[in-house]
Structure 1
C-alpha cells in the first residue's frame, strides 16, 4: 500500500494513496506504518480520503498501526468516506480514535473533528 507523509506543525499527516485497505494490502500497510512510527511526532493523522473500501483486515491494520506508535503518541483519522466511517461505527472502533472531517492540506490549514 502506498502512503505519503507530510510533516505539519501540529502532526504528521499520513495519506493512504490507494482506494482499498483490505486483506490484500493490510500487511503492506502495517509495514509502511512501522517504518514511519519510529520517527513520528506525538500526533499522527491518517488521511483516508482516497480509501473507499475497508474490510475487517483493513480495520485490523489501522488498529495495529495505532499499536505500533509509542503509548504517548496518538493516531487520529481524517476524511473518512461514508462507507469507511460506517465500518468504524458498526464495530464501535470509532470510539478509539479522534476522527476529523477533513485532513489539513497545507501548513496553515486547520482540521476539524467530527
Structure 2
C-alpha cells in the first residue's frame, strides 16, 4: 500500500497510489493512515483518485482510519472514481464523510 502526503496550511493531503483498497491491503492501509496522520494538521483529505476498486474490507479500513483519528482530526475524501463513489453511496457512507470532487477543488476553495 503506497501512500504519500503533502501539507498545506491547516491541511494534510494523503494520496493513495494503488488502484485497490480491498481485503488484501485493508490492514496495511489502516496502519499507514495512522502513521501518516498522527502528527499532522487537524484536517486530513484522503485523495482516492487512483483507486478504482474498494470492497467492504477497504471501506471498513477507511472508516477505521477515521476512528483512529479520535475526533482530533477530520477525515474528508476527495477524487472518488465512479465505482468507488457508488460503493460509498450504496452503503450510505457519503453521509458519514464529507466528499469533495477533487483535491484541486478543496485547494481552490481554500484560496478564495
* Fold similarity call, TM over 0.5: yes
2:108 equivalent in structure 1: 110
1:99 equivalent in structure 2: 99
The answer to whether the 8 A contact 1:101-1:111 is kept is: no
Task: Give the deviation of 1:70 after TM superposition.
Answer: 2.7
Structure 1 or 2: larger helix share? Answer: 2
Secondary structure in 1 matching 2:104: coil
Any gaps of 5 or more consecutive residues in structure 1? none
Alignment root-mean-square deviation, CA: 1.6
Task: Give the deviation of 1:52 after TM superposition.
Answer: 0.2
Distance, in Å, in 2 between the alignment partners of 1:20 and 1:111 is: 29
Distance, in Å, in 1 between the alignment partners of 2:109 and 2:87 is: 22
Q: TM-score, normalised by structure 1?
A: 0.89
The answer to whether the 8 A contact 1:100-1:111 is kept is: no
Alignment of 1:80-95 (within 5 A): 80-95=80-95
The answer to whether the 8 A contact 1:79-1:102 is kept is: yes
Q: 1:28 to 1:111 in 2, by over 3 A?
A: farther
Task: Give the deviation of 1:111 after TM superposition.
Answer: 5.3
Number of equivalent positions: 109
After the TM superposition, list the runs of 4 or more consecutive aligned residues in structure 1 that deviate by more than 3 angstroms: none
Distance, in Å, in 2 between the alignment partners of 1:73 and 1:93 is: 18
Q: TM-score, normalised by structure 2?
A: 0.91
